[in-house]
Amino acid sequence: MSSSVSPVDIPSAPPGPAAAKDEPPLQDDWRNGGLTALRAELDRIDTEIHDLLMQRARVVEHVARSGKPAAFRPGREAAIVRRLLKRHQGGLPAASLVRIWRELLAGTTSMQGGFSLAVCDAEHGAALTQLAREHFGGLTPLRVHGSAGQALADVSHGTASVAVLPFPSDQDSWWVSLLHHEPRLFIIARLPFWNARPDGSPVSRALVVASTPPDASGEDRSFLGLECDSDVSRARLSGELLAAGLKAEAMLLLRVQGSTISNVLVEIEGYLADDDARLSHLGSVLRRPVVIGSSASPIGGAA
């Protein structure tokens, strides 16, 4: 990392392309030397893009020295990508724009300190490993574990920045440990972020867990962990959530044979904080609900 300089030392951005009305039309007749001119124009644009990337990296260095608590801000990153997609036009596929920025964000995150992944996957290179590479970049250090507990332990011990874990199901109940884990761990993102999956892409889903709380992206879903009597019903819980003003998108009810307690994971529309007053209006819970995290809502179509 370069030595410290003041923000005023950051050079101005290279001049952008001239307004469309001032630009000469591109040479269409490539058979008369136009292709050479078009390639020269592409080289010029590539140089401008590279200049801007280097300038962006210098700004990131100042961000890293600002003392902010965490380099990885999944909510902020999601908001960046959404903003760019809203202004995007032309022939470049939107999915390519997402891929370019995901790799760029992975690179600048790594500039701000060691960032690494712990992935729970049955075998190296399987679906969750591919999802992690897709979202966090092809060169981010990654360790694969056979169990969610091992991946979470890496995050707890500081040997990994985040854990990539299977999306909760009846078979994957690792989320129960987040109800009692000290120091706390949080769900901070979901994968894939881009849901319009091309042929050959992994179709599995995953959640990302870290030791730092999630940040809101503006379009989010939260995860609420509950402890209830073993005979509680989904209908009763759904009714109580709705009456409290909480819209449940999905619910996973885990009953353990021989136990008097059921653990419930509810996916809630919107961003929830620990002190949300609505959480005190659920009569079926045995203790105050635990907000175990949130994630930016996916883009690019339905999951």
Tens-level pLDDT at each residue, the chain (303 residues): 333 333 334 444 444 444 444 555 554 555 556 888 899 999 999 999 999 999 999 998 888 887 766 678 999 999 999 999 999 999 999 999 999 999 999 998 888 778 999 999 977 668 999 999 999 999 999 999 999 999 999 999 999 999 999 999 988 899 999 998 899 999 999 999 998 888 888 889 999 999 999 999 999 999 999 999 988 999 999 999 999 999 999 999 998 888 889 999 999 999 999 999 999 988 888 888 999 999 999 997 444
Between CA 186 and CA 209 the distance in angstroms is 5
Between CA 202 and CA 288 the distance in angstroms is 37
Distances (CA, A) of 155 to 106, 117, 151: 18, 9, 7
186-191: strand order across its sheet: 142-145, 117-120, 162-166, 206-210, 186-191, 290-296, 220-229, 261-269, 248-255
Q: Could you tell me the two tokens for 183?
A: 């120091």
Are residues 1 and 64 in contact, defined by beta-carbon separation less than 8 angstroms? yes
The model's pTM: 0.85
Instruction: Work out the angle between the directed axes of helices 94-111 and 127-136 (0-180°, nearest 10).
Output: 80
What is the C-alpha R_g of the chain? 23
